Amino acid sequence: MKNNIKLDGTDRKILEILQRNSNITNAQLAKEIGLSPAPTLERVNKLETSGVIKSYHAVIDPAAVGLGVSTFVMASLKGHNKENISKFITAIKAVDEVVECHHITGSGDFILKIVCADIAAYQQLMLDKVSNIEVVDSLQSMVILSTFKDSKSLPIPG
Amino acid sequence: MKNNIKLDGTDRKILEILQRNSNITNAQLAKEIGLSPAPTLERVNKLETSGVIKSYHAVIDPAAVGLGVSTFVMASLKGHNKENISKFITAIKAVDEVVECHHITGSGDFILKIVCADIAAYQQLMLDKVSNIEVVDSLQSMVILSTFKDSKSLPIPG
DNA sequence: TTTTTGGCCAAATTTTATTTGGAAAACGAA
DNA sequence: TTCGTTTTCCAAATAAAATTTGGCCAAAAA
What CATH number corresponds to the domain at position A89? 3.30.70.920
B79-132 pLDDT, tens digit each: 888 999 999 999 999 999 999 999 999 766 999 999 999 999 999 999 999 999
Residues of chain A contacting residue B101, judged by C-beta atoms under 8 Å apart: 147-150
Residues B76 and B117 in one domain: yes
* Ramachandran sector of residue A152 (left: φ over 0; alpha: ψ -120 to 50; beta: rest): alpha
Q: How many domains does chain B have?
A: 2
What CATH number corresponds to the domain at position B38? 1.10.10.10
User: Is the predicted pLDDT of residue A127 greater than 70, yes or no?
Assistant: yes
B51 to chain A, minimum CA–CA distance in Å?
7
Provide the mean pLDDT of chain A: 95
User: Is the predicted pLDDT of residue A139 greater than 50, yes or no?
Assistant: yes
- In this prediction, residue B4 carries a pLDDT of 64
The answer as to whether B155 is a domain residue is no
| Strand C and A119 CB separated by under 7 Å | no
User: Is the predicted pLDDT of residue A114 greater than 80, yes or no?
Assistant: yes
B50 compared with A79, residue with greater pLDDT: B50
The answer as to whether B148 is a domain residue is no
What's the rounded mean pLDDT across residues A60-79?
Answer: 96
- In this prediction, residue B3 carries a pLDDT of 53
Candidate from A116, A140, A149 with C-beta closest to B92 = A149
The answer as to whether B152 is a domain residue is no
A6 compared with B100, residue with greater pLDDT: B100
Percent of chain B with pLDDT over 90: 91
Residues A76 and A127 in one domain: yes
Residues B100 and B127 in one domain: yes
Residues B70 and B41 in one domain: no
- In this prediction, residue A13 carries a pLDDT of 98
- In this prediction, residue A14 carries a pLDDT of 98
Residues B68 and B99 in one domain: yes
Q: Which pTM value belongs to this model? A: 0.94
The answer as to whether B3 is a domain residue is no
Cβ proximity of A18 and A65 under 8 Å? no
Residues A43 and A109 in one domain: no
The answer as to whether A153 is a domain residue is no
Give the containing element (helix H, strand E) for A100: strand A98-104
Interface touch B92/A18, C-beta < 8 Å: no
Cβ-defined contacts of B86-92 (< 8 Å, 24+): B87/B133, B87/B134, B87/B135, B88/B133, B88/B135, B88/B136, B89/A148, B89/A149, B91/B129, B91/B133, B92/A148, B92/A149, B92/B130, B92/B133
B53 to chain A, minimum CA–CA distance in Å?
4
d(CA A113, CA A38): 40
Provide the mean pLDDT of chain B: 95
The answer as to whether B104 is a domain residue is yes
Percent of chain A with pLDDT over 90: 91
The answer as to whether A120 is a domain residue is yes
Residues A39 and A77 in one domain: no
The answer as to whether B85 is a domain residue is yes
Residues B126 and B89 in one domain: yes
Closest nt to residue A10, judged CA to C1'? C7
* Confidence at A106, pLDDT banded by 50, 70, 90: confident
d(CA A78, CA A22): 42
- In this prediction, residue A150 carries a pLDDT of 98
Biggest CA-to-CA distance, chain A: 57
Q: At B62, give phi and psi (nearest 5°).
A: -55, -45
- In this prediction, residue B1 carries a pLDDT of 47
Tell me if chain A has a CB within 8 Å of the CB of B120: no
Number of H helices, E strands in chain A: 5, 5
Instruction: Strand C: list positions under 7 Å from protein Cβ.
Output: 7-11, 15-21
Residues B34 and B76 in one domain: no
Print the domain residue range for A126.
62-143
d(CA A122, CA A40): 45
Amino acid type, A80: H
DSSP states along B97-131? TEEEEEEESSSSSEEEEEEESSHHHHHHHIIIIIT
B10-39 pLDDT, tens digit each: 999 999 999 999 999 999 999 999 999 999
Residues A129 and A83 in one domain: yes
